Amino acid sequence: MGRPRIQQQVVELAVRIAQENPTWGYDRIQGALANLAFTFPILRSLTSSRPTASNPPRGATWKAFYVFVVMRLESRRVELAGVTPCPNSYWMRQVGRNLTDCHDGFLRDSRYLIIDPDTKHFPLCEILQSTDTDVVHLPPRSPNLNAHIERFFRSLKSECLNRMIFFGEGSLRRALREFSEHFHRERNHQGLDNRLIDPSDEVGRTKGDMECRNRLGGTLRYYYRKAA
């Protein structure tokens, strides 16, 4: 009785095509399936598949991704802890394991972690309970209490992400890595007396021709003197 059930194998094929082609509409996906001799209600098959880490929402842009960043307030050094379209509990626990790794975890010697009171962060907080790092939850709607990381994200968006068009998670990750390198080695910070976080030997050089180092096609620039 009722509608005939769509074979799971066919549903998975429809979801795969939707994932690999996020700009395709339902009609175009249905046409592609018709080329493979499959005809069924494409809208029903896609909406019945709830978004997960491996099945992001249809039509997702870079703004649909969740970027988790941790900062050391004293040095302003940041760590890109993870990128995902669906920050579920399993992903967040793995982020916690990476950050608290006994050898190279970014939070290894940290006494406190200031974090938003978002339910997505609860699995991370559970991981930290077995470490020496205490979690400090911010009050709701109080970005001014975590101003440095808020300023980082503002710079990330205005100087990088909002100026680019991405073609998937891979290109987004590359842009984040390039901005992180620029942020640490090539961007002066007023909160650090207008100095670089991790300056190279060329900083302060008085001789040599001026050169410009470009990142991401000239979106990020750094000027320095080339050794004579």
* pLDDT, tens digit only, all 228 positions of the chain: 545 555 676 777 777 777 777 666 766 677 667 676 666 554 444 544 444 444 445 544 556 789 999 999 999 999 999 999 889 999 999 999 999 998 999 998 899 999 988 899 999 999 999 999 999 999 988 888 899 999 999 999 989 998 888 888 899 999 999 999 999 998 888 888 888 999 988 888 888 888 888 999 988 988 888 886
List the structure tokens of 86: 């669906």
Structure confidence at residue 48 (pLDDT): 46
Residue carrying structure tokens 């050898």: 103
Structure confidence at residue 6 (pLDDT): 54
To the nearest 10 degrees (0 to 180), the angle between helices 169-185 and 147-159 is 120
Domains in the chain: boundaries: 8-47, 62-185
Instruction: Return d(Cα 116, Cα 97) in angstroms, integer.
Output: 19
For 110-150, the DSSP string reads: -SEEEE---GGGHHHHHHHTTSSPEEEEPPTT-GGGGHHHH
Residue carrying structure tokens 């004293």: 74
pTM above 0.85, yes or no: no
Structure confidence at residue 198 (pLDDT): 94
Q: Which CATH superfamily is domain 62-185 in?
A: Ribonuclease H-like superfamily/Ribonuclease H (3.30.420.10)
Structure confidence at residue 55 (pLDDT): 47
For 27-83, the DSSP string reads: HHHHHHHHHTT--S-HHHHHHTS--BTTBPPTT--GGGSEEEEEE-TTT--EEEEEE
